[in-house]
Amino acid sequence: MEIEFKIDEGEFVVVSPFRVITKDGKTNKFQLLDAGRNCWLELSLDNSRFSIETIDERINESDDIIRDKLDSLIIKVIEAEQEGTDLTELPTIQEERPFNPDQIKVNAKQFSLRLITEMIDGGDMDLSPDFQRNFVWNNFQKSRLIESILLRIPLPMFYFSEDEEGRISVVDGLQRITTIKEFMDNKFPLRNLEYLSDSCDGRYYQDDGKKQGIDPKFVRWFNQTQFSVNVIDPTSPSKVKYDIFRRINTGGKPLTNQEIRNCLSGKALRHALRKMTELEEFKTATDYSIKSTRMEDHEVALRFILFHRMIEGNGSIEAYNGYMDPSLDDLTDELQFSQESELSKYVDLFSNSMKNAEYLLGARYAFRKITPYDLEPGSYKQLINKALFASLSVLLSPYEHSLVRQKNDEFALQMPLAQKIDDDGDFWNYLSYGTNGRSNLLYSFDKVQELINIHLSF
């Protein structure tokens, strides 16, 4: 979550919001930090509005522009914290370009609606049916799109990605494609039309004995509709589709990085992540804190797979380069054609890990940046910390839950973790700022493994 300010030298600084949480409780203070942890603004939050307490004099923006940016930011901050994870990510510094621009190949093509439906039915186009499951179009939006097609109004550009075997994934335009397919499958009637209400309102795509279809002339017009598509050639670097998606993802409610991955991932990975996040043990271990609204739950599950695979292959996460989103993109692409049987083991490991975490830490404290103060009655419940979630979930996953219960007391890691975070200033800082950083994750994994070795028996 980033915001940009113009500074005196005619350049810009990119900052991220961090809630200031002291070791004796929660405050409503925020800082806007750049990637070097330099503070540019200090803010207080009152009645869902930011008030500026201090501001760096190098920021060269009018008061009105600053206020507009902060008003926009507060909505994102509130939404993010309602998702159940803390704000601990910093802007990326000088990230390497993910691909050579000379290798990009995007071809302009024309597709007919009939061809699209045939590709979907034949399995050559993946609609990712669980994509944006909480933000699907309503009947009004669907009907207006179909009416536009019937009126022969050109549709906006679509973006597809083609793989080496000719299969298509939808990079942009998924809701439109899904709506068209649902209409041709007679799944909804047209309602509240603006221009064709007399001839088409209440009608379906075709007659089926119970449902009245639109006039045959409209069916012909509909089927003959051509629309423009930019198709990413399979010889282009795989990261191109993620970059294109993020660049064109500027609609009314831009998608999160995980929603984009969900759209572009293979079915097996989507199903595995859904199974992981639907586990009752995941929900109870996190105290139902991580929400599914913007697929925050899927992202933490994907992080589990990412780091578990690193430890499987190398015995550590040394291979992690510190760039979380590109790493998750790469993993999503790597698992594009995996079979469900290959990924099912991560569902089982995740299930075992969640049971262990809840038993050893308690649902109120598992995966949270706790200190002894937080263990006292009436204390504020900390948000889920992504660095702790990754390290604890991965490192607790190999131990059989029944054996953990047999040889260890309940909540055996609760006080040791809280005391370690309280005593170790580096650990506190690494869990507080830029938790996606390589040093942060390496330190977190190291300290959690140390706690497991000292305080648990197997």
Per residue in 347-366, pLDDT (tens digit) is 999 999 999 999 999 999 99
Give the pTM: 0.77
pLDDT at 280: 97
Of 435 and 357, more confident = 357
pLDDT at 94: 47
pLDDT at 210: 86
pLDDT at 203: 95
Of 394 and 38, more confident = 394
pLDDT at 47: 76
Can you tell me whether residue 225 is helix, strand or coil? coil
Q: Mean pLDDT lowest for which of 151-155, 279-283, 420-424?
A: 151-155
pLDDT at 73: 84
430-448 average pLDDT score: 92
Q: List C-alpha distances in Å: 384 to 198, 317, 431.
A: 54, 21, 11
42-51 average pLDDT score: 84
User: Cα angle at 406 between 402 and 411, to 5 degrees?
Assistant: 95
**pLDDT band with cut points at 50, 70 and 90 for residue 99:** low
Q: Cα separation of 189 and 205, whole Å?
A: 8
Q: Give 448's contacts (C-beta < 8 A, 6+ positions apart).
A: 388, 391, 392, 395, 417
Q: Mean pLDDT lowest for which of 144-148, 219-223, 346-350?
A: 219-223
Q: Please measure the distance between the N-terminal and C-terminal CA atoms of the chain and give it in whole angstroms.
A: 41
pLDDT at 390: 97
Of 51 and 172, more confident = 51
Q: Cα separation of 431 and 387, whole Å?
A: 7
CB 242 within 8 A of CB 329: yes
Q: Is the pLDDT of residue 64 over 80?
A: yes
DSSP tally for the chain: helices H, then strands E: 18, 10
Closest CA to 296 of 191, 367, 232: 367
Q: Cα separation of 285 and 289, whole Å?
A: 9
